[in-house]
Homo-oligomer: A and B are copies of this chain.
Amino acid sequence: MSSRLMKLKDVLGRSKTSSPLAFAGVSRPFAESRRSFIAARRHVANGRNLRTMSDSSCEKCLTLDNMNPHIKVMEYAVRGPLVIRAGEIEKELQNGAQKPFNEVIKANIGDCHAVGQKPITFIRQVLALVAYPELLKDDKFPEDVKERARIVLGGCRGGSVGSYTDSPGIEVIRKQVAHYITERDGVPSNWEDIILSAGASDGIKSVLKLLKARVGGQKAGIMIPIPQYPLYSASIAEFNLHAIGYYLNEEKNWSLELDELERSLKEAKSHCNPRGIVIINPGNPTGQVLTRENIEGIIKFACKEKLFLFADEVYQHNIYAPNSAFHSFKKVMSEMGPPYSNMELASFMSCSKGYMGECGLRGGYSEIVNLDPQVKAMLMKSISAMLCPTVLGQATMYCVVNPPKPGEPSYEQFMEEKCGVLDSLKSRAKMVEETFNSIPGFSCQVVQGAMYAFPQMKLPPKALEAAKEKKMDPSTLYAFELLESTGICIVPGAGFGQKPGTYHFRTTILPQPEKLKAMLDMFKQFHVKFVEKYS
């Protein structure tokens, strides 16, 4: 245990350094773009030379040295330097560059439609009608689509989606969300606890920023899983909070273990003031689905330690493993009774994932329960300055929580499209897991849910040395070489956090089956060559 502790310190310990190259919160695991920082430094030096040549009375007001340090330290690996390079390669290909591949395969981001998933017709028909209500007269559109459109328009001031809505969203949509949750959980949901948002990220940031950065002379700490979704480390850095990493147990299919929560919290208490805990279920990037028993344990832990619960449940529709089921934190907590049913919880949902995959429309909601009424008033006030989330995103969320019912004209097509997506994702989850496990030196846990696999790979010592020389995490070196050789864009494990000495990457399971198969074949071939190169 003590050697494990030392390794953890190695991973998490740099957060208190003040070097401009250090990252706030969870630091070393997110050091993937150190290279870009070094490049930026060089750039700064050049900038200084340039500035001395220009008129000194108009030097830059805002420089790397005097800008907001919390923005400087935040990192967001899903869109980091690797993705920027992927974009450059795409342009090179467009301009006729000769490469060993014809296209970039973006397996770095859960961007369903970008890789060929078709939109759900019902959702898009409702959107067309609310955007251009003239179409309500058109016989082409089924009656249930028109009914949903009329309800959304009825909730809009002046009957137009071009009007501002209340800041937490249109009342009739908030009520429908509450109804959806009540049906899902068998536990009542209050529509006034529902806040619509521009995707889940917007909702998460709105709640996270309610926390005071320093409490009792120490930074406020938020427990996050390692590996985690980088929105958390990025927002925690931006808000000057402290990230307390707790490891998921890879050997047990990325399970969330209570003694690890205890260990992580105990260690953190010496240098921060723990205030909240983030749970991502189903897991991103790890794809595990928590059991009900596990959730009960986490809730008891959070209650004992007075932690605000952040339940990231955006993949609640994406469950593939036969013995897995989604249990919401709200449901479990409520069914446990007092004191647990009185705990403060924010649960987040999005229209970007599930079977709909409508990332670009930016729809989402938070359910926020048991908040101190004064704090809730402050939350409502703080979102009001941003006026309202996009009304068309709200309309999308409405379709997700009020889909066609049996007997309605759109029902059959809707179910066919929905099940088509989810069944295919289920078989792709299996294909990805099995293929990676067939590559020597790879191990990939079961993708029980969500949209990603997070395989571990053994890398040859010379690759580790080469990475060290380039001041990169070995997973980053691997990802860059994969991209340049095959056009496959994944996210290195360093962007999510990984145990020291282990190397991973996140890939989505989203490319369409044929392309996914081809991608996995290329991956296999690349890995053999990579190992050869560094042997």
Please report A residues at the B interface, Cβ cutoff 8 Å. 36, 40, 43-44, 47, 54-55, 57-64, 66-69, 71-72, 74-76, 79, 87, 106, 109, 111-117, 119, 124-125, 127-129, 131-132, 135, 156-158, 160-167, 198-199, 201-202, 205, 209-213, 215, 230-231, 234-235, 238, 275-276, 303-304, 306-308, 338-340, 342-344, 356-362, 370-375, 377-379, 381-382, 384-393
Contacts and interface: CB of A to CB of B under 8 A. Distances in A.
26 contacts: A43-B373, A44-B374, A55-B338, A68-B213, A69-B212, A71-B210, A71-B379, A76-B385, A109-B164, A112-B162, A114-B158, A115-B157, A124-B132, A125-B132, A127-B131, A160-B360, A161-B360, A162-B357, A162-B361, A199-B387, A235-B385, A238-B382, A359-B388, A362-B388, A390-B392, A392-B392
B211 A67 contact: yes
A238 to B, nearest CB: 7
Nearest to A75: B381
Given A60-B372, A79-B384, A198-B362, A162 B71 contact: no
Contacts of A60: 344, 370-372, 375
Given A59-B306, A124-B132, A162-B112, A231 B79 contact: no
Contacts of A72: 378
Contacts of A370: 60
Nearest to A133: B124
A117 B377 CA distance: 32
Contacts of A129: 128
Given A71-B209, A234-B385, A111 B340 contact: no
A361 B384 contact: no
Contacts of A201: 385-387
> 3 closest Cβ contacts across the A-B interface?
A114-B157, A58-B339, A360-B391
Contacts of A111: 157, 163-164
Given A360-B160, A392-B392, A372 B64 contact: yes
Given A68-B213, A131-B128, A362 B389 contact: yes
A103 to B, nearest CB: 12
A357 to B, nearest CB: 6
Nearest to A44: B374
A235 B300 CA distance: 37
Contacts of A36: 377
Nearest to A55: B339
Contact of A54 (B76, B198, B211, B339): B339
B63 A361 contact: no
Contact of A47 (B157, B199, B373): B373
A276 B67 CA distance: 12
A382 B128 contact: no
A408 to B, nearest CB: 18
A375 B59 CA distance: 14
Nearest to A157: B114
Contact of A360 (B68, B156, B359): B156
A355 to B, nearest CB: 12
Given A71-B378, A124-B132, A163-B360, A58 B340 contact: yes
A71 B382 contact: yes
Nearest to A359: B164
A284 to B, nearest CB: 14
Contacts of A119: 160, 162
A489 B370 CA distance: 32
A391 B64 CA distance: 31
Contacts of A359: 162-164, 387-388
Given A119-B162, A308-B62, A68 B344 contact: no
Contacts of A308: 61-62
Nearest to A58: B339
A235 B382 CA distance: 9
Contacts of A339: 54-55, 57-58
Contacts of A54: 338-339, 342
A342 B59 CA distance: 9
